[in-house]
Amino acid sequence: MSTATNASAVPGRSTRLPRSARRMQLLDAASEIFVERGYHAAGMDEIAVHAGVSKPVLYQHFPSKLDLYIAVVDSHAEKLVSDVNTALRTTTDNRKRVRAAVQAFFDFIDQDNSGYRLIFSSDASDPAVIRRVEGATEACVDAVYGLVMHDSGLDPYRSRMLASGLVGASQVNARYWLEAKRPVDKQTAVDTTVALLWGGLSHFPRQTASADAQPVVEPSVADAQPDATGAGSEASGPTVNGTA
């Protein structure tokens, strides 16, 4: 629930809050205004009134509208990335991992409608905003990529293609489902997306798995270099076509 006050609040007379709580209040209020009005039409005066603070207080926290908008986008993007990372660590069964990752995208778009619109349907064209949005998607790809390369033994390039495909399909299908006004229930939409993705991932060759395999910390893209044959390093643990 938003902590922002409504427009009837008297500017400059808001309750004193700790700085972190005030910042969250301002981000909530700004998120609502940016979603309703768009970046270009929204004004700092309007956001301050909606938050129930004076304009100087708003500027104490955010020197410009762009700074405020980037902070709002960052807050929603961080939640999406955190949700995907958490989902991938709920199990070591790869089919369940795929389902958990897909579910995370659908849940985010379903439950954080403001975040979805700000990240994926923004009218802001500033390069700093675009980098934030692209960064959120890449962070999700990174999380999947590390597990794919570790579990499949594929080289870094094919591993990243698979990770990008999983994230891209999850994101696009979840957006379509919402924008089409939820033509089927969410679980059916998730099941359909998982069937598509697992149908492809499960065909990759099984690698030898050790019984005591543990989840792996994702390697960085910079460190992921193929060997002379183009095949990545051999990995232990569950495989991409692991248990059904």
**Statement to judge: residues 93 and 177 lie in one domain:** yes
Is 24 part of any domain? yes
Mean pLDDT in residue range 129-139:
90
Please report the pLDDT score of residue 83 as a whole number: 93
Quick: pLDDT tens for 187-204: 999 999 999 998 877 666
45 is in which domain, residue-wise?
1-63
Please report the pLDDT score of residue 118 as a whole number: 86
Please report the pLDDT score of residue 110 as a whole number: 92
Last residue of a domain, one of 63, 95, 110: 63
Collect all residues with Cβ–Cβ distance below 8 Å to 7 and sequence separation of at least 6.
49, 50
Counting the structural domains of the chain, the total is 2
Quick: pLDDT tens for 49-66: 999 999 999 999 999 999
Q: Whole-structure pTM over 0.85, yes or no?
A: no
Is 99 part of any domain? yes
- CATH number, domain of 53, equals 1.10.10.60
Lowest model confidence (mean pLDDT) among 121-130, 152-161, 177-186, 218-227: 218-227
Please report the pLDDT score of residue 188 as a whole number: 97
Please report the pLDDT score of residue 203 as a whole number: 64
Please report the pLDDT score of residue 205 as a whole number: 58
- CB-count exposure of residue 171 (10 Å: 0-12, 13-18, 19+): buried
**Statement to judge: residues 139 and 214 lie in one domain:** yes
Please report the pLDDT score of residue 211 as a whole number: 39
HEC assignment per residue over 147-177: HHHHHHCCCHHHHHHHHHHHHHHHHHHHHHH
Give the Cα separation of 166 and 149 in Å (integer): 14
**pLDDT(186) > 60:** yes
Mean pLDDT rounded to a whole number for the chain: 80
**Statement to judge: residues 45 and 79 lie in one domain:** no
Nearest to 81 by CA among 36, 119, 26, 35: 119
Quick: pLDDT tens for 23-51: 999 999 999 999 999 999 999 999 999 99
Q: Helices (DSSP H) in 89-126: which residue ranges?
A: 94-111, 113-120
